[in-house]
Amino acid sequence: MSQVLIRRKAPTVYTYFAICPGGLDEVLKKEIEALPAKITHHYPGGVEFEGPLEMAYLACLELRTASRVLLRLQQTKKIFKDEELYEAVHAIDWTEVFDVDSTFSVYFTETRTKDRRGQTNTQFLALKAKDAIVDRFRKKFDRRPNVSRENPDVTIRLHWHDHILKIYLDLSGRSLHERGYRTETLEAPIKENLAAGLLLLADWPRLAAERVPFLDPFCGSGTLLIEALLIATRTAPGLFRTQFGFYSWKDHQPDLFDSVLERLKSKRVLDPAVLPRFLGSDQSEQAVAITRANLENAGFQSLVTLKATRFEDTAAPTPTGLIVANPPYGVRLNEINLLLETYQKMGSTLKHRYSGWQCGVISSDKKLLAAIGLRPRKKWNLHNGGLESTFSLFDLYKSEKMAK
């Protein structure tokens, strides 16, 4: 078993693991390279990287597609027995990771690992790990930290893959997609980090720098608009958050964190004269009102023109632009049949009234995407919550050929 990594003296280089929605790991990898951090491994759904403590703060604040940033405390050699798992967790001096008065929670996941009975029971293994942590505190203080499932100060995540156990401290706390600006939502809001991923796939940072206008004509609660604004204004997506998991970590250095925050705030570009035009619309008045409220939360209300209208009743307001949209998608068959018409109309509107534009559409239904009737320039399979989805990118040339 490898040696305990937690020491009284904080290490100068830590190993981190960032998790993202399935299909976005190449995008996340580029974001991590740009931090800039040294990538050590790249897996489907996550990227491992190294860096000093400051990198923990940069990753939690700046990564747009990450759902979580974890700090690796320990990685074992192959272990097979429950007792070995207990020992590996117990070997860490948890009293140097968090305070006995903090509440904590343990999550356990496993892949390709079965115990000697040929079974896995992640709940049982999480309990075993919790006992090991508690025993370590008791030995030192004769007291133990309490478990909180709802709102723990500290979250420990264990992943057992191919019998190798990795033990992590969750630096993000609540998922990083919860930026903090979205206080109201309507039907099927897209997660903020997935929305940011679509914009990065659509090359929005480059287009925004060229002041190409942005439109979401199915804006719902405004997530894609706000994420597009965050990118264009070079605003770190974590700046709105008031809580992070690392607040309860003993190596946390509030002064260093504050200096990182100040540096990131000073990088923001909010002068409308250098920003692109932002337009949002939705057929629902209520959606437009919710988008307005969320834009206000983010401080972007003066930068966006909003309108309640159906997309098929609009025409391109400028010769070029980028649309990124998440139109309604049905799960039941009767809903899908009704929505076919919406997608057909969308395709026809794009073809006849938005030539010169680019458009990215995410949908969990291939039949609906095909109903747009345009040939995508590129497409990606992505995980949208529990739904396998496709993000298709279309170039709307003057003479866009309809797909056969």
Ligand X SMILES: C[S@@+](CC[C@H](N)C(=O)[O-])C[C@H]1O[C@@H](n2cnc3c(N)ncnc32)[C@H](O)[C@@H]1O
Residues that bind ligand X (CB under 6 A): 185-190, 217-218, 220-221, 223-224, 282-284, 287, 310-312, 326-328, 342
Question: Distance between CA 68 and CA 20 in Å, rounded?
Answer: 7
Question: Distance between CA 108 and CA 156 in Å, rounded?
Answer: 9
| Minimum CB distance to ligand X smaller for 69 or for 195 | 195
| Minimum CB distance to ligand X smaller for 33 or for 341 | 341
- Reply yes or no: is the peptide bond before residue 317 cis, omega within 30 of 0: no
Residue 196 Cβ, how far from ligand X at the closest point, in Å?
A: 12
| Minimum CB distance to ligand X smaller for 172 or for 326 | 326
Residue 188 Cβ, how far from ligand X at the closest point, in Å?
A: 4
| Minimum CB distance to ligand X smaller for 104 or for 329 | 329
Residue 284 Cβ, how far from ligand X at the closest point, in Å?
A: 4
- Helix 25-33 / helix 192-201 crossing angle, nearest 10 deg: 80
Residue 291 Cβ, how far from ligand X at the closest point, in Å?
A: 8
Exposure of 381 by Cβ count < 10 A (0-12 exposed, 13-18 middle, 19+ buried)? exposed
Across the strands, what pairs with 109?
Answer: 159
DSSP strand pairing (38-43 vs 104-111): unpaired
| Minimum CB distance to ligand X smaller for 28 or for 324 | 324
| Minimum CB distance to ligand X smaller for 197 or for 327 | 327
Q: Closest CB to ligand X belongs to which residue?
A: 220
Which residue from 281, 285, 287, 288 is spatially nearest to 312, judged by alpha carbons?
281
| Minimum CB distance to ligand X smaller for 94 or for 357 | 357
Residue 309 Cβ, how far from ligand X at the closest point, in Å?
A: 7
Residue 365 Cβ, how far from ligand X at the closest point, in Å?
A: 12
Cα dihedral 289→292→298→303 (10° resolution)? 170
Alpha carbon distance, N-terminus to C-terminus of the chain? 60
| Minimum CB distance to ligand X smaller for 358 or for 364 | 364
Exposure of 141 by Cβ count < 10 A (0-12 exposed, 13-18 middle, 19+ buried)? exposed
Question: Distance between CA 77 and CA 314 in Å, rounded?
Answer: 60
Residue 381 Cβ, how far from ligand X at the closest point, in Å?
A: 19
Question: Distance between CA 314 and CA 352 in Å, rounded?
Answer: 11
Are residues 225 and 291 in contact, defined by beta-carbon separation less than 8 angstroms? Answer: yes
Residue 324 Cβ, how far from ligand X at the closest point, in Å?
A: 9
